[in-house]
A and B are shown apart, each in its own frame.
Chain A
Amino acid sequence: MDIFSFLVQTLNAVQYGLLLFLVASGLTLVFGIMGIINLAHGSFYMAGAYLAFGLTSATGSLVWAIVLGVPLAMLVGAALEALLFVHLYKRDHLEQVLLTYGLILIFEELRSLIVGNDVHGVAMPDFLAGSIPLNDTLSYPVYRLAISAVCVVLAIGLYFLIQRTRLGMMIRAGSHDRDMVQALGINITVIYRVVFALGVAMAALAGMLAAPISSVGPNMGGQVLILSFVVVVIGGIGSVWGALLGALLIGFADTFGKVILPEFAGAMVYLVMAAVLLWRPEGLLKKGA
């Protein structure tokens, strides 16, 4: 592998990892703070991709689709939390898994009813459609760099929100002691709703960003869900920065696995997970970090 193809693969790995982080951070936040295992989280990614398809067709641009789609995803997330997830906080994991697995089936059926089972493509915005030439034969698509840039900005924003704002302090405090937060006069229900809606919006945004570079089709949520859980477990359940590390690790493992050991590509991610868990059974970072 020469330096340029190594660079291309590295950029791919980072972009893939960052996108995965966008999905996994919501999953780990919801689990770490609210104690909920949300199997339907991958469905939000899928819904985001279909939203990108539908809204791009309607408005003519992915940018508009994102501008409209992200607030919509937040509203749907808040509504789902208020109607369904709010009943799960005091229940055990089995009931959480039952409800959220049921939601996967409902979302897949709805998708099938509304848009059918065909595979779709979404056009990337014209101004990001170009690529940057690296040498005579290799070039790198601007759109993928743009995905990475958006994800980095969001990761920094998330860091700022959680570490530097009062809302973030309340969120972190709530992950430790829900009753105590309430006893300080803070309405934890509202905080949970915000966190959940944020998680849904990030997963949907990841789906929208991914739509132009991966086909939009049935069961795209399942694959992402499994990888997100791998990321969350590697990173340390509940840790957002663990999720970032885990996501990048998985991005590199998957991308370079496919290049170096193509015959083991499918197993590479799980080998990395097993290795990390043997080394640190609780994940890379602890909860709340």
Chain B
Amino acid sequence: MLESNLATAAPVARMAADGRHPGTAPVADSDSAVRRPGDASDTPQASADALLAARGLHTYYGSSHILHGVDFTVHKGEALGLMGRNGMGKTTLIRSLMGLVRTASGSVTVRGREMRGAATHAIAKCGIAYVPEGRGIFPNLSVKENLLMAARPGVDGQCEWTFERVMATFPRLAERLTNGGGQLSGGEQQMLTIGRALMTNPDLLILDEATEGLAPLIAREIWRIVREIRLSGIATVIVDKNHAAVSSITDRTMILVKGQVVFDGSSEDFRADPDLVTQHLGV
């Protein structure tokens, strides 16, 4: 099933890459920004299996312009790596997609349905689970409560991710069920937020800096789990500094520079072009 997704996603991604190479004038962005939301489904990027997509997204924090007309697509079952240096707008993009920050213009569609401006819970209910930077666990709830409060069947009624399955995936959490969420180590907190996100039986899991500040061994454990989740058919958007690790487990890579997409292509192409790293990601 994954293979077929890859096959459809890859040509689409390459098309996107052509229009978004470094040096592409941002004119194209403002053009797409005025496109009516209904037209989004006609564009090649928003193919029928697009799960979450954005067109010409502009976001401001006060008077500072953070996102400059970002186009973004993630397909069913696809794994997308979202990269960029600090402050380039990765987290803002995700928060814009989730409806957690107000966007100025553009469109956000979930399964082709316009959701820009919708409440965050409505967007999440469309099968999107978000693991934020800094993890967002509830320290005043026990580990078990953190998981149970989020439990619900997925969009198509799927209940594959039960409490038992999360326990089996994260045996470390099983030992700490009655602990308060705030008493966990960083790695355990990360496992808890990922486990909690899975309890919503999502079709898409967004991980923002999931391995930040974790010891290498724990980070490796997180990557193993992400790979496992990915193989279960859940689409993933992964934001992480470790571009080697991300590009090795994703189908597609996207690079943001100053709120604009400068690369959107297959992770294979990304790995083949070390200049991308030095130019856009190196310190």
Contacts and interface: CB of A to CB of B under 8 A. Distances in A.
Interface of A: 166, 169-170, 172-173, 175-177, 179-189, 287-289
A253 B222 CA distance: 55
B136 A180 contact: yes
Contacts of B151: 166
B271 interface: no
Interface in B135-157: 136, 138-141, 145-146, 148-152
Given A177-B138, A182-B120, 14 more contacts: A166-B149, A169-B149, A172-B140, A172-B141, A173-B140, A176-B140, A177-B136, A180-B136, A182-B121, A183-B120, A184-B150, A184-B196, A186-B149, A187-B122
B138 A188 contact: no
Interface stretch (B57-65, B82-90, B124-132, B251-259): B124-132
A195 to B, nearest CB: 15
B194 interface: no
Chain A contact residues: over half helix, strand or loop, or mixed? helix
Contacts, number: 69
B96 interface: no
Given A169-B145, A179-B100, A185 B138 contact: no
B140 A183 contact: no
B121 A188 contact: yes
B179 to A, nearest CB: 15
A183 B130 contact: yes
23 contacts: A169-B149, A172-B138, A172-B145, A173-B141, A173-B146, A176-B140, A177-B136, A177-B138, A180-B136, A181-B121, A182-B120, A182-B121, A183-B100, A183-B121, A184-B121, A184-B124, A185-B121, A185-B124, A185-B150, A186-B150, A187-B119, A288-B140, A289-B140
A176 B200 contact: no
A172 B122 CA distance: 21
B17 interface: no
Nearest to B149: A169
B234 interface: no
A176 B140 CA distance: 8
Contacts of A180: 132, 136, 138
B124 A183 contact: yes
A26 B253 CA distance: 50
A163 to B, nearest CB: 9
B140 A185 contact: no
A183 B141 contact: no
A184 B152 CA distance: 10
A254 to B, nearest CB: 31
B98 interface: yes
B200 A185 contact: yes
Given A166-B148, A170-B149, A186-B121, A175 B100 contact: no
B94 to A, nearest CB: 10
Contacts of A172: 138, 140-141, 145
